[in-house]
Amino acid sequence: MNKKHIYVLSMLASLSLPGVAQTDKELAPEESTAAVSVIKADKTDRRSAKNIGNSILGEGNGLISLQNGGRYAAQNPTFYVRGLQTSSNNSPLILVDGIERDITSISPEEVENVTILKDAAAVALYGYKGTNGAINITTKRGKYDSRSIKVTYDHLFNSIANKPKFVDAYTYGMAINEARINDGLSARYSAQELNALRDGTKPYLYPNVNWLDETFRNNAMTNKYNVEFRGGAKKFRYYTMIDLISDKGFVKSPNLNEGYSTQDKYVKGNLRMNLDIDLTETTDVRVNLLGVLQETSRPGDQADLWDMVYTVPAAAFPVKDANGVWGGSDVWAGTSNPVAQSVGAAYYKNHSRTLMFDVTLKQDLGMWIKGLGAQVRVGYDNTSNVYENHSKTYVYSVNAPSWADGDAEPTVKTATYGKDSEMGTDAKVNTFARRLHFDGGFNYDRTFGRHSIYSQLKWDYEYEDPEGVNNTIYRQNFSWFTHYGYNSRYFVDLALVESGSSRLAPSTKWAFSPTLSAAWLISNEDFMQNAKWVNSLKLRASAGIINADYLPGDNVWTYYAQQYNTSGGTYPFDSGWNSEFGRTYLGQMATANPGHEKAYKYNVGIDAKLFDALDVTFDYWMQQRKDIWVSAAGKYSAVLGMDAPYENAGRVDSHGFELGIDYNKTVGNFSFNLGGNLMYTKNKIKEMLEEPRLYDNLVQTGNPYGQTYGLEAIGFFKDQADIATSPTQTFSTVKPGDIKYRDVNGDNIIDANDKVAIGHSTTCPEIYYNFHVGAEWKGLGFYAMFQGTGRYSAVLNTKSMYWPLIGNTNISQYAYDNRWTPEHQDAKLPRLSSESNANNYQTSTLWLADRSFLKLRNLEVYYNLPQSLLEKTKIVNGAKLYVRGIDLLCFDHIDESDPEAYGVNPVNKSIALGLSVTF
Element spanning 568, H or E: none
**What is the full DSSP assignment across 859-894?**
EEEEEE--HHHHTTTSS-SEEEEEEEEEEEEEEES-
DSSP secondary structure code for residue 161 in this structure: S
The per-residue pLDDT for 555 is 65
- The β-bridge partners of 517 are 493, 542
Residue 16 has pLDDT above 70, yes or no: no
Whether the pTM exceeds 0.85: the reply is yes
The per-residue pLDDT for 575 is 46
Give the pLDDT band (50/70/90) at residue 14: very low
The per-residue pLDDT for 365 is 95
Give the pLDDT band (50/70/90) at residue 561: confident
Residue 242 has pLDDT above 70, yes or no: yes
Angle, helix 169-182 to helix 191-199, in steps of 10 degrees: 150
The per-residue pLDDT for 70 is 57
Q: 406 or 497: whose pLDDT is higher?
A: 497
The per-residue pLDDT for 640 is 66
Residue 327 has pLDDT above 50, yes or no: yes
419-425, long-range: CB within 8 Å, 24+ apart, which pairs? 419/393, 419/394, 419/395, 420/392, 420/393, 420/394, 420/395, 421/392, 421/393, 421/394, 422/392, 423/346, 423/390, 423/391, 423/392, 424/346, 424/348, 424/389, 424/390, 424/391, 424/392, 425/389, 425/390
Q: With beta carbons less than 8 A apart as the criterion, state whether 237 and 143 touch.
A: yes
Give the pLDDT band (50/70/90) at residue 874: confident
Residue 800 has pLDDT above 50, yes or no: yes
% of the chain surpassing 70 pLDDT:
93
Lowest-confidence pick of 3-12, 134-143, 465-474, 727-736: 3-12
DSSP secondary structure code for residue 421 in this structure: P
Rounded Cα distance between 755 and 74, Å, is: 32
Domain boundaries, the chain: 164-168+208-355
Residue 3 has pLDDT above 50, yes or no: no
The per-residue pLDDT for 585 is 66
- Sign for the CA dihedral angle at 793, 795, 800, 804 comes to positive
Lowest-confidence pick of 25-34, 384-393, 682-691, 908-917: 25-34
The per-residue pLDDT for 20 is 43
Give the pLDDT band (50/70/90) at residue 251: very high
The per-residue pLDDT for 17 is 38
Q: What is the 3-state secondary structure (H, E, C) of 195-248?
A: HHHHHCCCCCCCCCCCHHHHHECCEEEEEEEEEEEEEECCCEEEEEEEEEEEEE
Q: 868 or 680: whose pLDDT is higher?
A: 680
The per-residue pLDDT for 564 is 74
What is the pLDDT averaged over residues 382-410? Answer: 91
